Amino acid sequence: MAESSGFAVFFFPQALEALGDGIKPYLQLGPAGPFVPCREVDTGGAFVEMTLEGRAPDGRTVELELMVPGNMVRMIVSARADAEFGFYDRAKSVAAGIKETVEPAPDAPPADVGGQPPALPTP
């Protein structure tokens, strides 16, 4: 996908076969197989509605809406480049203001390390 953010919608092989030539102009081939790159995806209904940007024959940018039955979609992957996501580098944690240790809550009793677990109250 050439966009900095958006979605990649993957379909079941049977869905691609059923959709036939109608879906082919919208597909791109990636390492995980063919997908439809979308700017927006709406999954709130029986159909998955995908908003795509395309080019008209005269070069204008056009907005396309492609709708397929929800049971044809295998997976939707969000691709965002505007924020950090996932694991962080512990070497950068101090600079980023992330504390390395967790402090107990002010009202929490001290932890009893190595002793018996506290008894549960009886009803």
| Model confidence pLDDT, tens digit, residues 109-120 | 555 555 555 566
SS3 assignment, position 18: helix
Per the domain annotation, does 55 fall within a domain?
yes
pTM: 0.60
Question: Which single residue is written with the structure tokens 């109608």?
Answer: 22
Residue 62 β-bridge partners: 54
Residue ranges in 24-68 assigned as alpha helix (H)? none
- Distance separating alpha carbons of residues 60 and 108, to the nearest angstrom: 63
- Distance separating alpha carbons of residues 17 and 10, to the nearest angstrom: 13
Per the structure, the count of domains in the chain is 1
Domain containing residue 65: 5-80
pLDDT at position 54 is 84
